[in-house]
Amino acid sequence: MEVVIQTSAQHLATLAADAVAQLLADRPDAVLGLATGSSPLAVYDELARRHATEGLSFARAQAFTLDEYVGLPADHPERYRTVIDRDLVGRVDFVPGAVRGPDGLAADLRAACEQYEAAIAEAGGVDLQILGIGTDGHIAFNEPGSSLASRTRIKTLTAQTRADNARFFGGDVAAVPQHCLTQGLATIVAARHVVLLATGRGKAEAVHQMVEGPISAMWPATVLQLHPHVTVLLDEAAASRLQLADYYRETYAAKPAWQGL
């Protein structure tokens, strides 16, 4: 894992946007993996800005979102499909149908999960996956106890995640759905490059476990230690519990310019 610690959240967003822009320059028909939530918002703002002012184009790209609440009506403002449209997709030039997410309204949820896995495979897999991390160490909605070999499936959200996400539902925990569909941990680690963003002290323990803890289903993000190309973009607060923070800083400062993220 490459750990990059920066004082400015905007700089983190710029680094992630650079990685996306470089990928699209190399492969305009790349497949992106998109997280929802607050962590990638500055990245999406930067990508939208580059689309508007620098001609960055997503017209040949495809994208897959990570997860979706089960049962939220199609017009609900917090349905992840609606959220990603608002945060990124509607602000750039993906062609209609190029961005897909798990169908939390499907009559047959199990079949919907299998179809989603098949669609990702048919697209050739995800080239670059943008990720956040939950305070309990979840990635996508793979809560503690998730199988490290899991694929897209239905999960039950923990009380902690529902409380964390209540801010998007007017502070009402009961309004946060209990179930979701989520890419599994094995689905996520199949992406060729993972770029995870975390900011704020609330993420510090989960980040410490992810980077420096033992691989365990209790901290699902630790599965990323098995991935050969993960970039972890952190502000100082999210990095505050890392034992080897100074080493990560030295490593990044000494990084050869040709290497990229």
Contacts of 78 (CB under 8 A, 6+ apart): 69, 72, 168, 169
**Residue span 163-202 as binding mask against ligand F6R, x where in contact by CB under 6 A, dash where not:** ----------------------------------------
> Angle at which helices 9-26 and 41-54 pack, to 10 degrees?
50
Nearest distance from residue 25's CB to ligand F6R, in Å? 26
Residue 136 is a binding residue for ligand F6R (CB under 6 A) = no
Residue 33 is a binding residue for ligand F6R (CB under 6 A) = no
Distance CA 163, CA 180 (A): 15
Specify the residue, 36 or 187, whose C-beta has the smaller distance to ligand F6R. 36
Closest CA to 192 of 239, 226, 219, 228: 228
Stretch that binds ligand F6R, among 51-59, 100-108, 136-144, 147-155 (CB under 6 A): 136-144
Nearest distance from residue 256's CB to ligand F6R, in Å? 31
Specify the residue, 79 or 138, whose C-beta has the smaller distance to ligand F6R. 138
Among 35, 63, 191, 233, binds ligand F6R (CB under 6 A): 35
174: amino acid identity, one letter: A
Contacts of 189 (CB under 8 A, 6+ apart): 223, 224, 226, 227
Site residues, ligand F6R (CB under 6 A): 35-39, 66-67, 132-134, 138-141
